[in-house]
Amino acid sequence: MNANEKPPIGVVGVGWVGLVTAACFADVGHPVVAMDIDEAKVETLSSGGALPIHEPGLLDLVERNRQRLRFTTEMTEVLEHCRLLFCCVDTPPTYSGDADLSRVEAVVAALPEGSEHALVMKSTVPAGTGAAIRRSRPGLVYVSCPEFLKEGTAVKDFLEPERVVIGADEGSESAAEMVADAYRPLGGELVMTDVASAEMIKLASNAFLATKISFINEIANVCEGVGADVREVARGMGLDDRIGPKFLQAGIGYGGSCFPKDTQALKQLAGNTGYHFQLLTAVIEVNELQKRRVISKLTKHLGSLAGKRVALLGLAFKPNTDDMREASSLVLAARLQGEGARVAAYDPIAEARAGELLPNVELADTAVEALEGADAAVLVTEWPEFAELDWEELAGRMATPLIVDGRNFLAPERLRAAGFTYEGIGRAPEPARTRTPG
Ligand code: UGA
């Protein structure tokens, strides 16, 4: 390696975080060896063309950096070429709410005793995991480097970080410096700290954002009772620097692979230390109830939902992703079916993933097809194309022009002018006027 060459980087686990990490480090000039146990995935990634996930800009990045980016199923290949190993395997929740660390443990077990490698933990793990790993493997060089990227803007988040958190304890300082060197060209504040604090920064950040969402959702529910508009309230609150405008969009609850899992894991972690994290317990419960509030907005106008056709617009947990993990649509579809409704749905890209999870939902190829003859529409994911629909024409195609806008995404005046009964979240509710006997 000459002085200008960047050191090779190993990435273990090529999921959302792993693939973005691998492609972005390759893009800034590191040779990258990315390993996954899933042969089919490695084969697809190596042969080019499609990616296993939908993430704007990522395919371009992978294609552009093919020369520096190698995919393999062999851990030995990673170990042979790279000293820094970024661990990006998933840590799903277990039945108890604890994080399942078996994949992380398998990566640790694959490191030869006394090896020179540095394990850089990107996977979200409970605080204390780094210390436990080092107790089980004395001498292991270990750095915590939690990831803060968001699906849908992951490439930008990685390449232009606001902050990079790097935690290391005694004996791992030089590896922490190597990690800092890898991130320095990207800008963003480097937070050099100890391992346990780095782990907590990640969990606390996600828990705080989830709290902000549940808070504004509860404010929205109160707004409905007092005739206020939560969007106005959030705007007025957000102008206070101490509060800020972000993550104050009321809706039908947060989903995805991170907030639900990480809030549970932090609650569980606190419980395991003997502390009842009361606030977080409420945040989680509020989120669960928020997904279900759509039902009462529908029954208010339709009476019983038995036999009614309800069209869900959007299924993914947020726009610009096909990720269905913990999506509010899953709970909503099941609840609607529980009420006896027939559920149709349309999502621009999540259909393939949704098909496996929603076997009894009629998946339409277009929004118009889903809405045809429907008694109600529920906007679940704020895909931009839903604002472009010809709502004036659609009012005539639905059996009842009723819409519950679960993301406050559409303009109520326009929908009402088109003949719709419009219900948002935290906005002055409409009097029940299209109610038919159940
Ligand atoms: C989240 C964090 O934002 C990232 O910083 C973190 O790295 C990531 O988890 C992770 O731990 O890996 P992500 O799950 O991709 O990222 O998505 P977000 O954009 O944060 O949205 C999460 C959910 O909250 C979505 O369902 C979204 O609709 C909902 N949300 C978000 C609201 O309901 N209201 C808001 O104001 C903002």
Look up the CATH number of the domain holding residue 25.
3.40.50.720
Any atom of ligand 1 within 6 Å of the Cβ of 100: no
The answer as to whether 209 is a domain residue is no
In the 8-state DSSP scheme, what is residue 377?
E
If you take atom 3 of ligand 1, which residue's CA is the nearest one?
Answer: 150
Do 232 and 163 have their domain in common?
no
Q: What is the 153 CA–ligand 1 centroid distance (Å)? A: 11
Q: What is the pLDDT of residue 1?
A: 61
Any atom of ligand 1 within 6 Å of the Cβ of 394: no
Domain end among 193, 214, 249: 193
Residue 31 makes CB contacts below 8 A (sequence gap 6+) with 6, 8, 9, 68, 70, 81
Do 176 and 248 have their domain in common?
no
- For 91: left if phi > 0, alpha if psi spans -120 to 50, otherwise beta; the answer is beta
Domain end among 193, 215, 241: 193
Query: Averaged over 154-166, what is the pLDDT?
Result: 97
Sign of the Cα torsion 241, 245, 250, 252 reads negative
Q: What is the pLDDT of residue 293?
A: 94
If you take atom 23 of ligand 1, which residue's CA is the nearest one?
Answer: 254
Instruction: Kindly report, residue by residue over 65-123, the tens digit of the pLDDT.
Output: 999 999 999 999 999 999 999 999 999 888 887 889 999 999 999 999 888 899 999 99
Say if CB 375 and CB 404 are below 8 A apart: no
The answer as to whether 2 is a domain residue is no
Q: Which atom of ligand 1 is nearest to the CA of 210?
A: 24
Is pLDDT of 436 > 80? no
Do 154 and 239 have their domain in common?
no
Domain end among 138, 172, 193: 193
Q: What is the 318 CA–ligand 1 centroid distance (Å)? A: 8
The answer as to whether 199 is a domain residue is no
Instruction: Kindly report, residue by residue over 250-292, the tens digit of the pLDDT.
Output: 999 999 989 999 999 999 999 999 999 999 999 999 999 999 9
The answer as to whether 203 is a domain residue is no
Do 295 and 376 have their domain in common?
yes
Say if CB 258 and CB 264 are below 8 A apart: no
CA angle 200, 206, 207 (to 5 degrees): 85
Count: domains in the chain: 2
Q: Which atom of ligand 1 is nearest to the CA of 148?
A: 7
Q: What is the 150 CA–ligand 1 centroid distance (Å)? A: 6
Instruction: Kindly report, residue by residue over 350-388, the tens digit of the pLDDT.
Output: 988 898 899 899 999 999 999 999 999 999 999 999 999
Task: Give the residue carrying structure tokens 């007092």.
Answer: 226
If you take atom 25 of ligand 1, which residue's CA is the nearest one?
Answer: 254
The answer as to whether 157 is a domain residue is yes
Any atom of ligand 1 within 6 Å of the Cβ of 319: no
Give residue 61's pLDDT band: very low, low, confident or very high (50, 70, 90). Answer: very high
Do 157 and 249 have their domain in common?
no
User: Can you give the residue range of the structural domain that contains 427?
Assistant: 227-438
Q: How many CA atoms lie within 13 A of 373 on its CB side?
A: 8
Q: What is the pLDDT of residue 2?
A: 64
Is pLDDT of 41 > 90? yes
Is pLDDT of 438 > 50? no
Do 67 and 153 have their domain in common?
yes
The answer as to whether 117 is a domain residue is yes
165, 213, 235, 243, best to mutate for ligand 1 pocket (most atoms within 8 Å of CB): 213
Token code pair at residue 209: 């954002």
When mean pLDDT is compared across 65-79, 231-245, 375-389, 422-436, the lowest value belongs to 422-436
Give residue 54's pLDDT band: very low, low, confident or very high (50, 70, 90). Answer: confident
Do 38 and 165 have their domain in common?
yes
If you take atom 1 of ligand 1, which residue's CA is the nearest one?
Answer: 150
Q: What is the pLDDT of residue 3?
A: 61
Do 151 and 44 have their domain in common?
yes
Do 389 and 282 have their domain in common?
yes
Say if CB 375 and CB 398 are below 8 A apart: yes
Q: Which atom of ligand 1 is nearest to the CA of 124?
A: 11
Q: What is the 312 CA–ligand 1 centroid distance (Å)? A: 21
If you take atom 6 of ligand 1, which residue's CA is the nearest one?
Answer: 148
Q: Which atom of ligand 1 is nearest to the CA of 327?
A: 26
pTM of the shown model: 0.93
If you take atom 11 of ligand 1, which residue's CA is the nearest one?
Answer: 258
CA angle 14, 129, 270 (to 5 degrees): 115
Residue % of the chain over a pLDDT of 70: 98
Is pLDDT of 435 > 60? no
The answer as to whether 207 is a domain residue is no
Do 188 and 66 have their domain in common?
yes
Do 409 and 326 have their domain in common?
yes
151, 318, 347, 381, best to mutate for ligand 1 pocket (most atoms within 8 Å of CB): 318
Any atom of ligand 1 within 6 Å of the Cβ of 255: yes
Residue 87 known to be catalytic = no
Do 185 and 242 have their domain in common?
no
Catalytic residue among 82, 88, 145, 258: 258
Q: What is the pLDDT of residue 274?
A: 97
The answer as to whether 222 is a domain residue is no
Any atom of ligand 1 within 6 Å of the Cβ of 148: yes
